Structure 1
C-alpha cells in the first residue's frame, strides 16, 4: 500500500455524549424536585383536551411504546380532571310488573341507589309485620265474621225453609255421601219399599208428587249456593283489599316522600303498590308453604325470601362513600364483552336455565359512566365482540346488555331485554402505534369515535438549558420507587445509558420503565456494597451484569470466531473480501457481529448475482440495496460500453435470513476490490448503506456493530490499525461503551466516518479512489481507473466474442 488515505479517525470525545459529573450541581439527587413530565407536551395536551372536551365523540387513543409512562400520565391527568366533574348518577334495575322480561332502569342522584334499595327492603320488612297484624286485628276479625255470619245465616234460612216444607208434605231430606236424597215418610219414619208397596196407587202417586216438588225446591236452593259463595268471596276480597290498601298506603307513604322529586321512582312505587295490594297473601304464607292466615313465621329479614324478590332493587352503579367527589376513572384490565357492557347471569332450576332482573351485572361502561374509562387497545381487539360492542355503545350513546350466545343464537332459553342505560363518558385507549394506524386505515368508525391522538415521544432532544430537568425526572423515578438517591457521577452514567437507549448522543430516552429498571438494579448493587447513595460503580455494575446475563449467545458467536469456526480476519489484506457488520436482536437483547462478505467477478452479460436472494435468504430491503449498488456501478464506470460483468456476492457462513441495506456499501466495495484487483485491509470492518450517487447513508445499531468487531479484535490483540468505518451521518448516534472509548483514546482502535464510497475505497485499500478529470477519465493508478479499465476490457472481450460468433455462423 502506498500511503494511508481516507477519512480521519474520530477523537474519543466524539464517541459518546459528553456528560460529566461536573455538569450537576447537586450533592445527591434527593435535592432535586421533579417539575412535571418532560418531553410529552404534545401527548399530554391531547389527553387534557379529551378530559375537558364535552363533545361525546372526542375520545382519545394514547399511542406510544410500552414503558414510556403513558398509562401513568394518562391516569394522573384524568384523575385530576375527574375531581372537577360532578359525581355521576346512580343506576338501578327494578322489576317491570307488566313485562318481567323487560326490567326497568332508573336513574337516581349520586349516592341514592343504595338508599333506595335499603328503603325498599325496609318497606317489605315493615309490610311483612304490618299486614299479618292487620289481618289479625279485632276490626278485621269482626268484619270478617260479619260477612261469614251473614252468608251462613242466609244459607241456613233457605235450607230450613226447604226442610220445613218437606216435613209438611211427609217427605224427608237425607244427606248421603253422594249428596241429598228425598224420600217419603209415614208417621215420621222413612218409608221402606215394603211399606210403599202396601199403599194404594193414589197414595203412592201423592208421595211421588211430594218428593218431586221437594226435589225441585231443594235443587233451587242448592243452585243459589255458588252465587251466594261467589258473593261471599267478593265481599271477603273487598275487605282484604281494603285492609291491604290501607296498610300498603301507610307503609309506602314515607318512601314516596323520600323520593318525591324523582318521577321514575314514583311511577315504580305506583306499580309496587298495585302489586302489593293484589298479592297481599304472600305475606300470609308459612315457610312450609301452607296458608298461615294472619300469622306468618317470624324472621329477621323478610326481604331476602324468594317470594319477595320481585320487589328487589338491583343497584348496578352506586356512587358511595362519605365526602366522595368527582367522576370515576376506571381501568378495565380484562375488557371482555361481559366486562365492558355487563351481563345477565342464569341459574339452573329443575334442569332449566332461569334468570330475572336481579341477575343483571354491570360492566366497566356502567361503572365509568359520567367519567373516564381507560382500556388497553391490544386487549380490546383480542377479545371477541368487545371492539364491536364498544363502538356500538359509543355510537348510540347507550349501554345495551346482550351476550355472545344471544348474538349468535347459540341458546334458546328465556332471557331478558333490560332497558339500555344512557352513556356519557370519555374512553381513553392505550396502545402501540401499529394499532392506531391499522384501525385508522381499516375501520371507518375509528376516526369518527376517536378524534384525538396522544402520541407519546420515545425520546427528548438534549436541551440547550442543560440536563437539569432530565436529572430531576431521574430523581423523581428513584424517589417514587423508594430507591436511594444518586450522586453526580451516577447521574452521568444514567445519562450515558439513556443516550444509548436512543442510539443518539443528541437525545435522551423517555422509556421510563427501562430507566426505572436500571435504577432499581443499581440500587440493589449499592445496597450490596452497603452504600446510602447510588454511585457510578453501582450503575456500571448494573449495566455490566445486565449485559452478562443476556450475553450467552453473543459469547457463543465470538467464541466461534476466535476458534476460527467462523472465518473472520482482523489483519492482512485480501481481494474481494470485506468485514461487514450486522446486528442480531433476540429476546430484547441486541449485539453486533462481523460477517465475511466476498465478491467474485468475471466476464458476463451484466448480471450481479446476489446469492442470498437467489437462495431466498435475502429480504426485500437487502435486495433493494443490491439493485442500488448495481445502479451505481452502471452509472459510475464505463458508461459508454455495455455492462459486461458477471459477479456474485455472498455472506460466507451465513445460514439464516439477511435483510436490511446496511451492508450495501460493503457489497459495493467488495465488488470494486474484485474488479480492480485491489486488496482490502482486513483489520477494518464497515457498515453503511449507499445510494446510486455513491453517498454513504446512516444505518441502525451502529454502537452494537462497532462493539461487536472491537470485542473480536480485543480478544485477538489490538494492533492500532483495527477499526470500523461508519457513515458520517451516524457520528451523532455514537454512545459507545467505555472499553471502546479508552482503546480509541489510547490509539489502539479507530472509528472512521465515511461520507462517500470514495472514503471507503481509500481507507480500505490505501489507494486513491480517483475522480474524473475534465477529459472524463479517472486518474491513472486510481482504484476507480482500474475498475473502469477492467469493465472496458470485459466489454471488448464480449464484443470480440460476438464477432467470432458471427464469423463462425458465416463459415457454416
Structure 2
C-alpha cells in the first residue's frame, strides 16, 4: 500500500544502552554518588538563597515527589551549615521588676549551661553560708549590743519620764490600753471616788495639768518608736553586712566570669538585692509553730525557683549552624509553649515552664519544613509568617486567644530570630501561595525548581551507576552488573518518556534497584543482572495493573467494542491514558462520527453531555477550524457531524485524540473506510499539522496488548506524530514484535499523510477553482 515510508525504523523505537560504557564488573568496584545530579538549577537557587542575608530571601524548594528535593536540600544545607558560626545560647531568667515578664538573655554557645551551674552554686552557697554567718558569735554579739543599747535607752527614758511625772504630782501606769497618768495625793494614786468629790475648779486644774504630762509622755513615746525603727534599720543593715560578707565573694566571682555581658551583670545585681530582701528564706527557720494541724501543706515554704536559669537553647554540642527538619510543624512544636501545673485547684506557671520550639533551636541556622504539613496547621503558617516579618519569636499559648475569660499568665520577652526557612513542596502549592498569599512572595523570594528529567549523556549514565552503587551500600543490596545498569538507564529514559532524557525521580529508580536486588536473590545471582531488572519491572507492573487487565478482558470479551482488523466508515481507534494513582496506562477507545446535511457543524457529544474538559473541547474547535479552512473554500460547509467516544462514561480531557476525531469525520463525509488495525494518536493545529502528545509509549503498549490478545496479524500498529519519535522508549516485547514483522509503528507529520496511511488513498490537493480531484 506504499506505507513503508511512514514506518519508524527499528533502531528508533528505543535507545538501547550499551553495557560496554560501564568499565566495571559490578557497582562494588565504583565509588558511590556524591551530591545530586540533574538539578543544577535547583542547586544554584539553594546556593543563592542561603548566601543572601537580606530579609525575605527564604527558599521554596518546588518539585514533584521522588525528585530528591528533600535529600538534596538536607545534604546541601548540612554541608553548608558546618562552615557557619555556632549561634548563641538563649536563657530565660526571672524578672525581679515584673515577675510576669521573664527576661530573655543571649550567651555565647555553651555558656548557658555554665551560667545555670554557676547560679545553682551561688544559691546553694548562699543557703549554706548565710545561716552559718547568722549563727556566728560575732553576729550575735553585735546584734545583742544593738538591741541591749536600745532597751537600756528605752528603760532610762521611761524611768526619767516617771520621775518627772511624779514631780508634777502624777503617777505613770502602763496598761494593755496604753500609758495613762494618775494624779497623786500624799504620794498615793487618787481614787475615782475622791476625784469625783472635788470641786469643779480643782477637777479642771488637775485635768489640765494631767493633759500636759500626757503630752510629754506621748512625745517621749514617739521618740521611742522612731528610735525603735532606727534600731530595726540598724539590725537590717547589720544583716545585710553579714549576708554580703557571707556571699559577697560568690557574687564577685560570678560577676567576674560574666563581666562582658551587661544583661547578666544587671540580672546578678537584681539577684543580690533580692537575696538581701529575703534573708529569712535563707536563714533556714523551722516550721511555723502556729500552723494548724493538717494545714501545714498550705503554709508558704521558701522558694528559690526564681533564681533558677531556664536554658531555652543550648548549642554546646552544635557543630556549625543548626539544621532543624521539623516533621510535625504544629504550633507548639515550632514556636514553643508555656506549660502549667496544678496547685490547690488552680493552674500555675512560671518562667521555668517556658519550653522552646523548632524555630528557637534553628535560630542562627536553617529550618526545613514540608509545605503541605505547615499549611494544614493554619496557626503555624500564620505564626511563621509573623515571626519572619518581625524577626522575633514570641511564645504564647493559643488557648489564650480563644478563652472567653482572660487568664493571668506570663509573657516571656521575645527572642530575636535569624533563621533561613526552606519549604519543601509541589509546584502547585507554590503557585497557590504565590497568587493567593500576599506575604508569601515577600518572605520566600527564592524558588529552587527541581526538574523531573536531565539529559541522557554518558556522564549521567555513569552517575546512574554511582547512584545504584551508593544505594546498594546504604540498603545492603546486591551490586549490579553492567547489563543491569543498562536496563536501569533505559528504565530512566522510559520514565522520562524521551530517548534523550533520563528521569530524576530517584525514588522510583531506587525502588526498582531494591526490587531488582530481591529478584537477584530469588534467582540465586551473585550480582544483579539484566534479567533481574526486567523481572522487577514486570512484577512491579503486575502488582499495579489490575484495572488495566480488567479493561483488556472486557475488550477481549467484546464487552468494550474495539476492532483490530478490517476497515470501516466513520470509525477509528483512538488512544487515551488512564491513571489509577500509582500506575497509568494506555488503552484504545472507539471514536465514531455521523454526518448529515445541516448547518450545525461539528456536534461534540462529550461537550453537550458536559463530559469533555476544556482542552478536549478546544481540540474539537481546532479540527472544526481546520475543516472550514481546508474544505469550505468560498462557501460555508453545509454539514452536521456528531462526534463521540463510544462507551466512555467518565470525563475526557486532552486534545491528543483530535486527529482521530478528524479522520472519523472525513471518513464519514467521504464514505471512505478507515483501517481498524491501526490505532491513532496526535493532536492537530488549524494548518493540518500533527502535533506531539504525551504518554506515547504507554499508548502504543496499550494497543499492543489489545492486538496481542486478538492475535498479532502483522498489519496492526499505531500511528503517532513524527515529532514523538524521539520520545519512543518501548518495552522489549513491543520492539521484538516490530522486528519480527508482527506489529508496526507509523509516524506522520500531517493529516494528509494520515489519510493516505489509513485509507490507502491520497488526500489530494485543492484545485484553483476550490475543488478536489
Asked whether the 8 Å contact 1:695–1:756 carries over to 2, the reply is yes
Aligned to 1:718: 712
Aligned to 1:49: 48
Measured in 1, the distance between the counterparts of 2:302 and 2:498 equals 70
Q: Secondary structure at the match of 1:599?
A: strand
Aligned to 1:131: 130
What are the superposed Cα offsets for residues 540-589 of structure 1, whole Å, 9 maximum, x if unpaired? 22212211111211111111111121111222222111111111101221
After superposition, the Cα gap between the structure-2 partners of 1:425 and 1:218, relative to the gap in structure 1 and judged at 3 Å, is closer
After superposition, the Cα gap between the structure-2 partners of 1:487 and 1:455, relative to the gap in structure 1 and judged at 3 Å, is same
Aligned to 1:60: 59
After superposition, the Cα gap between the structure-2 partners of 1:518 and 1:410, relative to the gap in structure 1 and judged at 3 Å, is farther
Deviation for aligned residue 1:73:
1.8
Aligned to 1:755: 749
Measured in 2, the distance between the counterparts of 1:109 and 1:128 equals 29
What are the superposed Cα offsets for residues 128-149 of structure 1, whole Å, 9 maximum, x if unpaired? 1111111111111111111221
Q: Is 1:429 paired with 2:427?
A: no
Aligned to 2:14: 16
User: Which has the larger displacement, 79-88 or 420-429?
Assistant: 420-429
Asked whether the 8 Å contact 2:615–2:655 carries over to 1, the reply is yes
**Counterpart among 288, 302, 309 of residue 305 in structure 2:** 309
**Counterpart among 498, 521, 537 of residue 527 in structure 1:** 521
**Counterpart among 564, 567, 571 of residue 573 in structure 1:** 567
Aligned to 2:23: 25
Asked whether the 8 Å contact 1:580–1:687 carries over to 2, the reply is yes
Q: Is 1:645 paired with 2:639?
A: yes
Measured in 1, the distance between the counterparts of 2:381 and 2:402 equals 16
Asked whether the 8 Å contact 2:281–2:302 carries over to 1, the reply is no
Asked whether the 8 Å contact 2:6–2:748 carries over to 1, the reply is no
Q: Is 1:475 paired with 2:487?
A: no
Aligned to 1:625: 619
Aligned to 1:272: 271
After superposition, the Cα gap between the structure-2 partners of 1:150 and 1:728, relative to the gap in structure 1 and judged at 3 Å, is same
TM-score by length of 1: 0.86
After superposition, the Cα gap between the structure-2 partners of 1:7 and 1:631, relative to the gap in structure 1 and judged at 3 Å, is farther
Measured in 2, the distance between the counterparts of 1:184 and 1:306 equals 53
Deviation for aligned residue 1:516:
1.0
Measured in 2, the distance between the counterparts of 1:760 and 1:200 equals 149
Measured in 1, the distance between the counterparts of 2:422 and 2:156 equals 84
Q: Is 1:737 paired with 2:731?
A: yes
Measured in 2, the distance between the counterparts of 1:92 and 1:749 equals 75
Aligned to 1:114: 113
Aligned to 1:282: 281
Measured in 2, the distance between the counterparts of 1:424 and 1:75 equals 19
Q: Secondary structure at the match of 1:625?
A: helix
Deviation for aligned residue 1:494:
1.0
Aligned to 2:495: 501
Measured in 1, the distance between the counterparts of 2:731 and 2:450 equals 28
Measured in 1, the distance between the counterparts of 2:303 and 2:436 equals 53
Aligned to 1:808: none
Deviation for aligned residue 1:306:
7.0
**Counterpart among 654, 665, 689 of residue 660 in structure 1:** 654
Aligned to 1:598: 592
Asked whether the 8 Å contact 1:599–1:667 carries over to 2, the reply is yes
What are the superposed Cα offsets for residues 33-81 of structure 1, whole Å, 9 maximum, x if unpaired? 2364322222212212333344444332222222111222222222222
Asked whether the 8 Å contact 1:369–1:425 carries over to 2, the reply is yes
Aligned to 2:94: 95
Asked whether the 8 Å contact 1:684–1:722 carries over to 2, the reply is yes
Aligned to 1:560: 554
What are the superposed Cα offsets for residues 685-715 of structure 1, whole Å, 9 maximum, x if unpaired? 1111111111111111112211222112211
What are the superposed Cα offsets for residues 146-196 of structure 1, whole Å, 9 maximum, x if unpaired? 122122223333444556678899987777666667778999999988999
Aligned to 1:677: 671
Q: Is 1:541 paired with 2:535?
A: yes
Aligned to 1:800: none
Aligned to 2:294: none
After superposition, the Cα gap between the structure-2 partners of 1:343 and 1:410, relative to the gap in structure 1 and judged at 3 Å, is farther
Matches within 5 A, 1:164-313: 224-286=223-285, 288=287, 307-313=303-309
Deviation for aligned residue 1:676:
0.8
Q: Is 1:359 paired with 2:327?
A: no
Asked whether the 8 Å contact 1:56–1:424 carries over to 2, the reply is no
**Counterpart among 712, 721, 727 of residue 721 in structure 2:** 727
What are the superposed Cα offsets for residues 248-271 of structure 1, whole Å, 9 maximum, x if unpaired? 422200001111222221222122
Asked whether the 8 Å contact 2:27–2:466 carries over to 1, the reply is yes
Measured in 1, the distance between the counterparts of 2:408 and 2:204 equals 69
Q: Secondary structure at the match of 1:307?
A: coil
Deviation for aligned residue 1:219:
6.0
Aligned to 1:511: 505
Q: Is 1:145 paired with 2:157?
A: no
User: Which has the larger displacement, 197-206 or 519-528?
Assistant: 197-206
Aligned to 1:440: 434
After superposition, the Cα gap between the structure-2 partners of 1:438 and 1:163, relative to the gap in structure 1 and judged at 3 Å, is same
Deviation for aligned residue 1:597:
1.3
Aligned to 1:796: none
Asked whether the 8 Å contact 2:122–2:251 carries over to 1, the reply is yes
What are the superposed Cα offsets for residues 205-259 of structure 1, whole Å, 9 maximum, x if unpaired? 9999999898777666655553343233222222222222333422200001111
Asked whether the 8 Å contact 1:7–1:759 carries over to 2, the reply is no
Q: Secondary structure at the match of 1:649?
A: strand
User: Which has the larger displacement, 611-620 or 767-776?
Assistant: 767-776
Deviation for aligned residue 1:777:
3.6
Deviation for aligned residue 1:527:
2.3
Asked whether the 8 Å contact 1:35–1:469 carries over to 2, the reply is no
Measured in 1, the distance between the counterparts of 2:629 and 2:164 equals 140
Deviation for aligned residue 1:428:
2.2
After superposition, the Cα gap between the structure-2 partners of 1:564 and 1:460, relative to the gap in structure 1 and judged at 3 Å, is same
**Counterpart among 331, 334, 348 of residue 328 in structure 2:** 334
Deviation for aligned residue 1:309:
1.8
Aligned to 2:72: 73
Deviation for aligned residue 1:514:
0.9
Asked whether the 8 Å contact 1:581–1:592 carries over to 2, the reply is yes
Aligned to 1:298: none
Q: Is 1:614 paired with 2:608?
A: yes
What are the superposed Cα offsets for residues 620-655 of structure 1, whole Å, 9 maximum, x if unpaired? 111000100101111111412221101111111111
Measured in 2, the distance between the counterparts of 1:291 and 1:195 equals 47
User: What is the number of equivalent residue pairs in this alignment?
Assistant: 763
Measured in 2, the distance between the counterparts of 1:683 and 1:201 equals 147
Q: Secondary structure at the match of 1:637?
A: helix
Measured in 1, the distance between the counterparts of 2:333 and 2:769 equals 79
Deviation for aligned residue 1:352:
4.7
Deviation for aligned residue 1:485:
0.7
Measured in 2, the distance between the counterparts of 1:96 and 1:465 equals 63
Measured in 1, the distance between the counterparts of 2:464 and 2:211 equals 118
